[in-house]
Structure 1
């Protein structure tokens, strides 16, 4: 098994471009192993086209076209695009807006006019996901913002935040009690382990002992460290990554249930079926049928 790629520390120092008080840009290359990172800036990320796995705090879920997520200050997050079935989304873009909570002044969002926005930004400490139809609408504005003059860009940012704050169907992502360790040393170690897992989770023989060794810890200490850092046990983390991939394979391929389970990293199909039902509330076969029926209905 090859040596993992070493990555930079996970705390990101974000600097706006000259003439701007916040960042708005198109980030490409999401096929690369993503970094588990955080920063004090609030982040709004829109993926126009693409599929993969999104990790926000202790939430692990799939993303598809028109994915729009608002990330609060210092909430760890990453996106990992799909590379399977011969397809490689090596240049699908993501429009990203990043701004410090106080970039317009310490009490700006405490003004009465911004009460709804302030409440939304507080909720974003857990991460907020918006439905695809909202993502498509707001994403179009965000895309235009990347080429607008700074003044218009700022005006449209406030309009975007106002529009999102009135969305009744936004869903929180990470759990209410998620509170990861934010020390530099533990973050670097967590990133190193999560990066390794993202490269090898399809291997059903990936073991607790192997990951503990990779983190230079004994298995017992590693278990405590991983739960504290991610909010999940290693088994929970691996199963969610594998089930996320299995869902996309069920939707985007005609592979058998057995082949899907093996491709996603499960050692046997019966265990896969149990974990899938626990996670999605239905069997893999029912999941595929419902997706097929919904797709056919939308095309009529």
Structure 2
């Protein structure tokens, strides 16, 4: 389902510059929210679905997620699965340091990263391990550790990493997302109530708002930042991820249940979106 309008969350650490906290619970219970602070989350344990702006993506141990200022987001997991979750969160406000600071030539890579952070980004385990060590030092810092210096070190490490994945498209904007086109909103809700129907087509949705398939394709890409079939497949794969970790159903059963008409296409799209086959996604969840 499309989340309700995200809630502004006032963070207790927002006024002290840098705050790092670690949470450990039976399952992740994050809600759909936003805040002016930039956020970095490192997942130590637990799996589920990340909602970021208009994107959905599975997350798991070792993933590091960057969320820009005021970008709506939520980390969700199956509440019936109590295998445990643990994550570390960093919050800070770049604007509190002033424009002149970020204009320094030495900060150029970091500034470019923060300028694009409203798209949200996820960094895989092999490029996030060093950043986790910095987060741990920030949380358990001694008198010899300077939190601002550690933060700049962490941000620079992220800025020079090329293995990250932007979660939202280049034309995504937090401000634009807050003012969603009424026709697009209607289309998205229709898709999200019917995406498990294997015979759902772009032509049918286009006809529902009086457009030709060609005009609708351009409209959807321009307004949502992604192609219709990509959005449809993301919804189906997201539902499949939830079923995989919350039931004992076979991969074939799940493929048909979420709207795919054949197993090979499901496996191909699942790997394309999550980076792994469905069997590996399930086994990795229960391994952690």
- Bin for the TM-score computed over the shorter chain: 0.5 to 0.7
- Structure 2 vs 1, CA of residues 122 and 129 (structure 1 numbering), >3 Å: closer, same or farther? same
Asked if the contact 1:201/1:238 (under 8 Å) is kept, the reply is no
Aligned length: 262
Asked if the contact 2:121/2:167 (under 8 Å) is kept, the reply is yes
- Structure 2 vs 1, CA of residues 110 and 11 (structure 1 numbering), >3 Å: closer, same or farther? farther
Decide which moves more: 150-159 or 99-108.
Answer: 150-159
Decide which moves more: 145-154 or 121-130.
Answer: 145-154
C-alpha deviations, 1:160-189, integer Å up to 9, x for none? 112222222222221112235455999xxx
C-alpha deviations, 1:96-144, integer Å up to 9, x for none? 1111121222321211221111122123232222121222231232133
Aligned to 1:41: 37
Give the secondary structure class of the aligned counterpart of 2:94. Answer: coil
Give the secondary structure class of the aligned counterpart of 1:88. Answer: coil
Q: CA deviation at 1:52?
A: 0.9
Aligned partner (choices 80, 96, 106) of residue 103 of structure 1: 96
C-alpha deviations, 1:197-254, integer Å up to 9, x for none? 8xx99987xx9xxxxxxxxxxx96xxxxx99996579986564243135358769998
Aligned to 2:157: 163
Distance 1:109 1:248 in 2: 41
TM-score, length-scaled by structure 1:
0.65
- Structure 2 vs 1, CA of residues 231 and 58 (structure 1 numbering), >3 Å: closer, same or farther? farther
Aligned to 1:130: 123
- Structure 2 vs 1, CA of residues 139 and 281 (structure 1 numbering), >3 Å: closer, same or farther? closer
Decide which moves more: 143-152 or 73-82.
Answer: 143-152
Asked if the contact 1:58/1:232 (under 8 Å) is kept, the reply is no
Aligned to 1:178: 172
Aligned partner (choices 7, 12, 17) of residue 8 of structure 2: 12
Distance 1:201 1:46 in 2: 34
- Structure 2 vs 1, CA of residues 127 and 183 (structure 1 numbering), >3 Å: closer, same or farther? closer
Asked if the contact 2:29/2:75 (under 8 Å) is kept, the reply is no
Aligned partner (choices 244, 256, 268) of residue 238 of structure 2: 244
Decide which moves more: 149-158 or 119-128.
Answer: 149-158
Asked if the contact 1:201/1:241 (under 8 Å) is kept, the reply is no
Gaps of 5+ in 1: 208-218, 221-225, 296-300
Q: CA deviation at 1:78?
A: 1.6
Q: CA deviation at 1:16?
A: 4.5
TM-score, length-scaled by structure 2:
0.67
Asked if the contact 2:270/2:277 (under 8 Å) is kept, the reply is no
Aligned to 2:58: 62
Asked if the contact 1:22/1:103 (under 8 Å) is kept, the reply is no
Asked if the contact 2:267/2:278 (under 8 Å) is kept, the reply is no
